[in-house]
Amino acid sequence: MSIKSKSASLSKPAYDQGKTVARQIFHDVIAAIDLRHAMFAKLQHEDEGLVAGDARLPLRRPPRVVAFGKAAGRMAALLNEILGHQAGGGIVVAPSVPTGTLKNFRYFVGGHPYPNAASLAGAQAALELVSQLGSDDLVIFLVSGGGSALFEKPLDPEVSLDDLSEFNRVLVTGELPIEQINVLRKHISAVKGGRLAQAAYPARQLTIFVSDVPDDLPSMVASGPTMPDDSTLEECYRLVSEHDLVSRFPGAIRRQFEERSLEETPKAGDPCFENSQYLCLLSNQEAVDAAKEAAERQGFICAIDPNEWDADYQNVADRNLLSLDELAAEHPGQPVALIVGGEVTCPVTGSGMGGRNQAYVLYAAQKIAHQNRVVLSAGTDGRDGNSPSSGAVADGQTVARASALGLDPARFLAESDSYYFFRTLGDTLDTGFTDNNVRDIRLWLDFGFQ
């Protein structure tokens, strides 16, 4: 197993408190990936310039700001604070309007997981703003997860909002991992796949982003509006063919794929990126590292499994369980913890409420029945699928407790109704929106001989 573990030196955690311990580890993760700390650590306003990581950008005039994604409101407020409240105004497209709005900023409440009218209006406002900028201007893009739905404008004017919503519904309820979904989104959009940067050229551009995609695919965050696009039209057409998607798309979008009339996105080397710089604030790696540290504080011998886990949730759970077995065998009788990041895929097969994290835990709960083990999976954004929870936690008694209440795990999985299963048991994770998103965290805890 290609994972590294570290021996714990604290007293052994107790299995009868296992779910509470797992919850505490997750809450410690949320605290560790605080946006304010990250932004103030990596951004400084000095000598009439902005230092962003290794980049230094002179501020000849107040910069304009375009923020979109689940963390957009908070990122815009923090940036304005760092700039000494001297931002030159801008656009914020987020799931909600913050309690304190900024002067000269326009706010749009976009839709998620499907675009709404404000998603389109916000994208149009951003395009109009950046297209007026010149080479002496600086525009700062604040990008975070969820931006693919919250911030959108179709490239083809014949594509309606209903078309966009149905297109996104087909994609997010299927089996494609997020990076492949975003390949398709990019190629029908007027703002994704580098096209927002294209509109902002020749202005100087700084993109500050919170990554909710695999760490080696930064241009997939919010479908990469300001970054060169590594994907291609041929990849786009191949994906829809392999997964038989075209017939499921709404007419105006289906026609573009059938006629192969989509336009290619700008690539690396395009002049529109020559004045662009990028800074990653947070990613899933920070969350995984924080989970490992928190588990070790709880007394576990802890390991991170760094493999790619953007795959079917049942397959991932089975493989994670094998890794946990191996880790436990290496430390017989000792409490061990396996930490896993990424985002599993979970096709929607019913009309219930829940998401990939709760489905993962529900499936896993059946695998650890009657064992001294705990499993947790949750989204760092505070929302899992169409439910109000971020995820769920289960232990070796979960299935027995459910059976006593007449709850059949298999039926709830088939109906995509994992939220109501765990809500009935009191085992959902309810953090509320976190104003952040660095993908999901999964914990597997084995309490050894207890």
For 164-184, what is each residue's pLDDT tens digit?
Answer: 999 999 998 888 888 899 999
And the tokens for 150? 């919250």
Q: Please tell us whether the domain made up of 35-273 is placed in CATH 3.30.930.10.
A: no
pLDDT, tens digit (0-9, with 9 covering 90-100), for 115-132: 999 999 999 999 999 999
pLDDT given for residue 3 in this prediction: 52
Rounded percentage of the chain residues whose pLDDT exceeds 90: 85
Which has the closest alpha carbon to 120: 73, 64, 178, 160?
A: 160
Please state, in angstroms and as integers, the Cα–Cα distance from residue 143 to each residue in 11, 101, 150, 186, following that order: 42, 18, 11, 15
Mean pLDDT, the chain, whole residue set: 94
What's the pLDDT band for 449 if we cut at 50, 70, 90? Answer: confident
Level-2 CATH architecture, domain 4-32+285-446? 3-Layer(aba) Sandwich (3.40)
Confidence of residue 434 (pLDDT cuts 50, 70, 90): confident
236: pLDDT strictly greater than 50: yes
For the entire predicted model, the pTM comes to 0.83
For residue 222, the number of C-alpha atoms closer than 13 Å in the C-beta half-sphere is 35
Band the pLDDT of 145: cuts 50, 70, 90: confident
Where does the chain hold its CATH 3.40.1480.10 domain(s)?
Answer: 4-32+285-446
CB 392 within 8 A of CB 418: yes
Report whether 65 contacts 59 (CB < 8 A): no
pLDDT digits (tens, 9 = 90+) for 269-278: 999 999 999 9
Determine the length of the chain.
450
How does residue 5 score in pLDDT terms, banded at 50, 70 and 90?
A: low
The boundaries of every CATH 3.40.50.10180 domain in the chain are: 35-273
Distance CA 141, CA 207 (A): 5
SS3 56: strand
Which residues pair with residue 44 across a beta bridge?
A: 51
Other CB atoms within 10 A of residue 158 CB:
11
Q: What is the mean pLDDT of residues 229-247?
A: 96
Report, as an integer, the average pLDDT of 421-433. Answer: 96
